[in-house]
Chains A and B, each alone.
Chain A
Amino acid sequence: MNSTPNAIKRDEKTGDPLFIDRRELRLRYEIPVKDIYPFFDGLREGRVLASKCKICLALYFPPQGSCPTCRKSDMDWVELGPTAKLLAVTKVYIKPQSFAEEEDYILGVGEFPEGVKALARLLFEGSRMPKIGTQMRIAVTKDSGENPLYVFVPTEPGSNEPAP
């Protein structure tokens, strides 16, 4: 917030006059999760659940409450994993504002034997990037706000890529 009475300042690089907005907008959304609430129940119990259409048996992850094929909202909930194969991976260095306080983090897409995939953090030791094709295990941990969150970890402790 700029507290100077004059809202105009000069741009540091170009010297152009800029009016500094005195109104600030903050947004925090409230997102309904009623149709996928069993997913959050599962997460609290340390399980990652996908929704499965009772009629056509299609598996949905991320879970959704309705099947667009059958146009019905009749879902079973099934546990994923525990193993998944790494299909794509990155390490994020330039982070969004709301993640600015976190260490650089690794994200990857894992494919489960059931055919569905998930994007999640990879909690792997060492600074080398995990290789495409690496077998991983999905697990539930807590995020910085003590909320349960699913992550990928090495299949066995110590079996991850050696440090460089």
Chain B
Amino acid sequence: MTKVAIVGAGISRFGRRTDANMNALAWESVSAALEDAGIEQKDIDFYSVGNVGVWSEENLPAVTVGEYAGLTPKGTMRVEAACATGSAAIKVARDSIASGSAKLAMAVGLEKMYGVPTPTIVELIGRAGNYFWEFENFGLTFPGYYALYASAYMAKYEAKEEDLALVAVKNHYYGSLNPFAQFQKQVSIDEVMTSKYVAHPLKLLDSSPITDGSAAVILADEETARRLTDTPVWIKGQGVASGSANLSKRSDFVSLDASVTAAKAAYSQAGIKNPVEDIDVATVHDCFTIAELMAYEDLGFVGRGKAVQLIRDEQTYKGGKIPVNLDGGLKAKGHPIGATGVGMAVEAVKQLRREAPKSRQADIRHGVALTHNVGGTGHYAYVTLYGLN
């Protein structure tokens, strides 16, 4: 495959953004990415806009963002892969370069979730699976999906709610060091344990928040990338997979098969033999605390049932065997659904360029970063490896 690199990255502040509409919110990251790449809008050949929408005002965000950001009349499309939408937008932009149809392409991730009341959001995200059989009839919610996995995982591996809480404690710690994060404050195990149940056994502080935010990356072919920057961040591999819409069609509830499949493909493309050895830093999809634990196993950081020990030993903190979510993760940085995957890419770029704040900058030895972006509950999975070489 043609080599493709990220040559520019930008991100908005995540949170409840009553100060910016969809287009203005997108512009914050688009302008930062253009600035970072040192290019102008006219240089872009194609741009994708990852956005799930419905809870926000614009139905054709790709064109409204394009108009606001001065990208019109460049070719575009809106991309959807639930919570993995951002990574899907990157795939589309990367493929457009790999095919030779573009030399410079932008992937924008955007979500404005606070446009409607919370119960409406719960309603809409609850439909993110099989609408008729699991939502219409029974009222399964999005936390409910992951809670089902948590119940089975905890029963099989004798994990405790306190173990799940350790993930929240870590990610809030790193959120407290990230000025772009929605929650820039630490939480204690006690605070997590005494927060209210959302869907048993998951509590409010096991859950990522509702978030507004945007992120943008600019991708280039090899020749263009080397002309624009001394520190291109190459996409070394990207594995994609899907899972059944109905949770009742899953083989078990302790692992996301789509993550496993996507990781295998990405590792094979990037030549990763031992992920813990070969990868310097990872951002994984911690929409709920249980999701981060399953990710440790699905991505091969540890064997089955060993994720709890990894977090208990603090091996996913900076300086540990494999630092995970040093930006605060979805849990504390926030989870603007369509922007999350692009936000992960921005974090990978900053980490690899050693531009993260010192307190949360990973030790970059091999020059390899991983992002793991799940849509729904393993309905989609995108695992991407970024590298300096």
Contact = CB atoms under 8 A, between A and B. Distances in A.
Interface of A: 11, 13-14, 16, 18, 21, 31, 61-62, 87-100, 102, 105, 107-109, 116-121, 129, 131-133, 143, 149
B151 interface: yes
Given A88-B247, A93-B198, A96-B141, 19 more contacts: A14-B18, A61-B248, A62-B130, A88-B151, A90-B201, A91-B200, A92-B141, A92-B144, A95-B139, A96-B119, A96-B126, A98-B139, A100-B119, A105-B138, A109-B148, A117-B248, A119-B248, A120-B138, A132-B151
B118 to A, nearest CB: 8
A117 B139 CA distance: 18
B139 A99 contact: yes
Nearest to B252: A87
B68 interface: no
B19 A119 contact: no
B143 interface: yes
Contacts of B19: 14, 16
B359 interface: no
A9 to B, nearest CB: 11
A93 B197 contact: yes
B69 interface: no
A97 B151 contact: no
A94 B198 contact: yes
B309 interface: no
Contacts, number: 115
A88 B147 CA distance: 8
A119 B247 CA distance: 7
Nearest to B203: A93
Contacts of A107: 138-140, 144, 148
A5 B120 CA distance: 25
A92 B139 CA distance: 9
A114 B348 CA distance: 46
B252 A31 contact: no
Interface in B138-169: 138-141, 143-144, 147-152, 155-156
A16 B18 contact: yes
A140 B185 CA distance: 48
Contacts of A89: 148, 151
A87 B198 CA distance: 20
B199 A21 contact: no
Interface string B51-93: 0000001000000000000000000000000000000000000
Contacts of B16: 13-14
B234 interface: no
Contacts of B123: 96-98
A14 B201 CA distance: 33
B196 interface: yes
Q: Max chain B CB contacts within 10 Å: which of A91, A118, A121?
A: A91
A28 to B, nearest CB: 11
A95 B134 contact: no
